[in-house]
């Protein structure tokens, strides 16, 4: 009946585009990197690991791998939440302060006589409330999330310092509980992995994830279709805060102490950096939690590797900054290639 | 007054007006749509067509006036509420998500899921039904697995229309459905509208400023000018020439008022 427009071949709808059959291995590898946003950062991570192992044989030792988990585990958990918020087109700057607040709420709840599991829930509940406030201010009052969460960043930091009096505390839970919630490196790694896999699944395979992508990809269009964009954004702010709080709890049990000055902007920026170099767009609509996990590990490898080599923290920050710029530039180029090459 | 009494009234607007702060977009809109009827809503850029569509779907709420759906007064607070009644719309911007593939776009907000509140997407079902629907409508695209960003304007439009038609709508609103299309591609959309008209189950409102393209498919045309409906005739009793004359006369009058 109707001719297909232009010179496009009349492929039927049911047949996926047949491509890559007679391409060389190199071109197929290129196509793989283009298709999977996580691939470029994964390759960067592997190359870094090889380099550091070659420079210092201690890199792949058991003790150092434990360090690596500590460097990247909680960052990955926060980054998972940050990916959700970034994908729906917002940003959460306050999550590092929620990371510091949550263990205190947990500690004081336990001090008041509640069992530890209930204290954990209370802490995460407080984190969720912060997320709810972030979400409502951003969606109802229409304050840009950058400003909203900048405000709550300071607010929560001050609140944490006030309720703690500025002093660290030492939570004393049972040994199993402590090990399960992060004192054991295997447990910390398992949490980071499980959270990354669960939220990757949420983002890619569930209605919530699809609506999150839609909200970030085309806000007006999503509203026109009837997606409750405000609820989606608020929900993702809540999830991000809860994940930030959970990361705080894990680090508190690992270290055995809760410092009101822990985390903060440093860990928040690391989480955003991990998300971004992992392949998540700051402009919304596209993101990957697995990429953010790999991004956290790469940042961990950089921190850990340079520490092993005895590179100073100052140099490290310069390298980290350059790494973010390079990966972002490459990612944007790859995205353009992706759009043009029809991959 | 109306030559084509096709069926029961399905949607009616009475004395609807809409202001955005100081700006009045619609003054006093009276409009009726019957089951199985195709109504052309014509007007120049900025006449208030898109605002009216957004009120009829529940995206905007009227400042004053009343909407009736199947004879009963309704107040639409959201697009979801309008859709629950069976009022479907293809907006001018198509409301497609560029990053999302074709079949997920076609089921956006109505995804078949399993796992209860977990809402795990049933991609296989969506894919199969999307292919079936697009084939039935004669829409040809390279693949339903590609993000819609990869498709041409006409293909995107066709997908947006297919999505709305698929929902068993009682009222279908099309905002500039042929705006981004070549002649062949718009023929495809007009065929679909013709088919809907023959089936007689759905009332269709087509919004357009290029009335030559849609004139043949409409049962009745309304002309909207300066936020008011100034002309309402069955297409059988009017012609493209008459409509053109009205619009040109209006334009000349406006210019004379300006220069005077």
Confidence class of residue A339 from pLDDT cuts 50, 70 and 90?
low
Provide the pLDDT for residue A80: 97
Compare all CA atoms of chain B with the CA of A216 and give the residue at the minimum distance.
B97
Contact B131 A13 (CB under 8 A): yes
Q: Which of A20-29, A249-258, B47-56 has the lowest mean pLDDT?
A: A20-29
pLDDT at A6: 38
pLDDT band at A281 (very low <50, low <70, confident <90, very high): confident
User: How is chain A split among helix, strand and coil, in percent rounded to 5?
Assistant: 75, 0, 25
Residue A5 has pLDDT above 50, yes or no: no
| Contact across the interface for A210 and B149, Cβ inside 8 Å | no
- pLDDT tens for each residue of B136-167: 777 778 899 999 988 877 788 888 888 887 87
Q: Nearest chain B Cα to A228, which residue? A: B80
Q: Do A11 and B143 make contact, defined as CB atoms within 8 angstroms?
A: yes
**To the nearest whole percent, how much of chain A has pLDDT over 90?**
51
- Round the average pLDDT of chain A to a whole number and report it: 86
C-alpha dihedral over A301, A306, A309, A315, to 10 degrees?
Answer: 170
CA distances from B35 to A299, B7, B16, B168 (A): 62, 5, 21, 13
pLDDT band at B6 (very low <50, low <70, confident <90, very high): low
What residues of chain A have any CB closer than 8 angstroms to a CB in chain B?
1-6, 8, 10-17, 205-208, 210-211, 213-214, 217-218, 220-228, 285-286, 339, 342
Q: How far apart are alpha carbons B70 and B81 in whole angstroms?
A: 15
Residue B173 makes CB contacts below 8 A (sequence gap 6+) with: B53, B56, B57, B87, B88, B89, B90, B204, B205, B207
What ipTM was predicted for this assembly?
0.79
Which phi and psi (to 5°) does residue A262 adopt?
Answer: -70, 160
Residue A4's pLDDT is what?
Answer: 38
Label the pairing between strands B9-20 and B38-42.
unpaired
Is residue B92 scored above 90 in pLDDT? no
Report which of residues B88 and B199 the model is more confident about.
B88
Task: Show the beta-strand stretches assigned E in B182-246.
Answer: 203-208, 220-225, 228-234
Mind listing the pLDDT tens digit for each residue in A263-276? 788 999 999 999 98
Whole-number pLDDT of residue A156:
96
Give chain A positions within 8 Å (CB) of B94.
Answer: 221
Q: Which pLDDT value is given to residue A275?
A: 92
What lies within 8 Å, CB to CB, of B105 at 6+ separation is: B96, B97, B148, B159, B163
d(CA A326, CA B253): 61
Q: pTM above 0.80?
A: yes
> Where is average pLDDT lowest: A167-171, B98-102, B176-180?
B176-180
**What pLDDT is recorded for position A75?**
95
How many residues are present in chain A? 343
Which of B119, B147, B156, B167 should be substituted to probe chain A, the one whose Cβ sees the most A Cβ atoms within 10 Å? B119
Q: Which of B85, B75, B33, B73 is nearest to B55 (CA)?
A: B75
- Under the banding of pLDDT at 50, 70 and 90, the label for residue A331 is low
Residue A32 confidence (pLDDT) above 80: no
**φ and ψ at B92, to 5 degrees?**
-60, -35
Measured in residues, chain B has a length of 260
For residues A92 and A237, is the Cβ–Cβ distance under 8 A? yes
* Other Cβ atoms within 10 Å of A247 Cβ, number: 34
> Among candidates B98, B199, B105, B184, which has minimal Cα distance to B149?
B98
Answer whether B98 touches A (CB < 8 Å): yes
Tokens linked to A230: 């405000």
Q: Can you give the pLDDT at residue A67?
A: 87
Distance from CA of A14 to the nearest CA of B (A): 6
Residue of chain A with shortest Cα separation from B98: A217
Kindly tell me if the per-residue pLDDT of A90 is higher than 50.
Answer: yes
Token reading at A50? 């090889």
- Residue A303, pLDDT > 70, answer yes
pLDDT for A322: 85
Cα–Cα distance, B130 to B124 (Å, whole number): 10
% of chain A exceeding 70 in pLDDT: 89
| Cβ-defined contact of B121 to A207 (cutoff 8 Å) | yes
Which range is least confidently modeled, A21-35, A122-136, A286-300, B4-18? A21-35
- Set of chain B residues whose Cβ sits within 8 Å of the Cβ of A232: none
Query: What pLDDT does B180 receive?
Result: 63
A47 or B137: which leads in pLDDT? A47
Beta-carbon separation of A206 and B120 below 8 A? yes
CB contact under 8 A, A217 and B184: no
Q: How many CB atoms lie within 10 A of CB B256?
A: 9
Q: pLDDT tens digits for B203-253?
A: 999 988 777 777 888 999 998 888 888 888 898 888 888 888 887 887 787
Mean pLDDT on A296-303:
89
A186-225 pLDDT per residue, tens? 999 999 999 999 999 999 999 999 999 999 999 999 988 8
| More reliable by pLDDT, A135 or A277 | A135
Question: Which residue has tokens 């009736």?
Answer: B68
Q: How far is CA B38 from CA B172, B204, B208, in A?
A: 9, 5, 13
Residue A15 confidence (pLDDT): 41
């Amino acid at each position: 009946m109707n001719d297909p427009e232009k010179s496009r071949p009349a492929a039927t709808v049911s047949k996926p585009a047949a491509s890559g059959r007679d391409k060389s291995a190199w071109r197929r590898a290129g196509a793989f990197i283009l298709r999977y946003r996580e691939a470029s950062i994964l390759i960067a991570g592997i190359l870094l690991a090889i380099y550091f192992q070659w420079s210092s044989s201690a890199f792949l030792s058991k003790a150092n791998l434990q360090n690596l988990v500590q460097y990247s585990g909680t960052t990955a958990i926060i980054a998972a939440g940050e990916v959700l918020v970034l994908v729906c087109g917002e940003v959460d700057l306050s999550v590092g302060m929620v990371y510091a607040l949550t263990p205190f709420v947990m500690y004081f709840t336990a001090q008041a006589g509640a069992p530890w599991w209930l204290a954990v829930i209370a802490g995460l509940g407080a984190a969720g409330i912060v997320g709810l406030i972030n979400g409502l201010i951003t969606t109802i009052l229409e304050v840009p999330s950058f400003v909203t969460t900048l405000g709550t960043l300071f607010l929560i930091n001050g609140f944490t310092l006030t309720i703690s009096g500025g002093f660290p505390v030492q939570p004393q839970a049972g040994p199993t509980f402590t090990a399960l919630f992060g004192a054991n490196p295997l447990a910390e790694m398992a949490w980071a992995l499980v959270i990354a896999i669960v939220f990757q699944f949420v983002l890619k395979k569930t209605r919530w994830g699809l609506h999150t992508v839609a909200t970030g990809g085309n806000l007006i269009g999503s509203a026109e279709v009837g997606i409750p964009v405000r609820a989606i954004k608020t929900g993702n702010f809540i999830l991000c805060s809860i994940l930030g709080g959970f990361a705080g709890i894990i680090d508190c049990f690992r270290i055995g102490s809760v410092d009101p000055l822990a985390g903060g902007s440093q860990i928040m920026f690391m989480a955003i950096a991990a998300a971004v170099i992992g392949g998540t767009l700051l402009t919304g609509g596209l993101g990957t939690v697995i990429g953010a996990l790999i991004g956290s590990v790469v940042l961990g490898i950089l921190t850990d590797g340079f520490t092993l080599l005895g590179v100073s923290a100052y140099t490290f920050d310069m390298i980290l900054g350059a790494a973010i710029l390079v990966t972002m530039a490459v990612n944007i180029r790859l995205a353009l290639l992706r759009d043009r090459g029809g991959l | 007054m109306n030559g084509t009494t096709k069926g029961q009234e399905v949607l009616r607007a009475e004395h609807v007006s809409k202001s955005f702060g100081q700006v009045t977009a619609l003054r006093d809109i009276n409009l009726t749509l019957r089951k199985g009827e195709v109504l052309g809503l014509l007007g120049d850029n900025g006449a208030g067509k898109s605002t009216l569509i957004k009120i009829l779907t529940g995206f905007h709420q009227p400042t004053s006036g009343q909407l009736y759906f199947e004879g009963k007064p309704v107040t639409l607070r959201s697009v979801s509420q309008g859709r629950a009644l069976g009022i479907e719309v293809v907006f001018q911007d198509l409301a497609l998500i560029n990053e999302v593939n074709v079949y997920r776009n076609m089921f956006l907000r109505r995804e078949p899921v399993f796992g209860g509140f977990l809402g795990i997407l049933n991609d296989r079902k969506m894919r199969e039904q999307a292919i079936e629907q697009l084939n039935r409508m004669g829409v040809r695209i390279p693949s339903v697995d590609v993000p819609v960003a990869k498709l041409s304007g006409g293909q995107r439009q066709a997908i947006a229309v297919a999505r709305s038609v698929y929902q068993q709508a009682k009222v279908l609103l099309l905002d500039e459905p042929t705006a981004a299309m070549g002649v062949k591609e718009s023929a495809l959309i007009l065929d679909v509208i013709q088919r809907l008209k023959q089936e007689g189950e759905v009332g269709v409102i087509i919004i357009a400023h290029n009335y030559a393209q849609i004139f043949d498919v409409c049962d009745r045309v309304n002309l909207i000018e300066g936020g008011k409906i100034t002309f309402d005739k069955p297409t059988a009793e009017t012609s493209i020439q008459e409509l053109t004359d009205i619009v040109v006369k209006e334009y000349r009058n406006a210019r004379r008022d300006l220069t005077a």
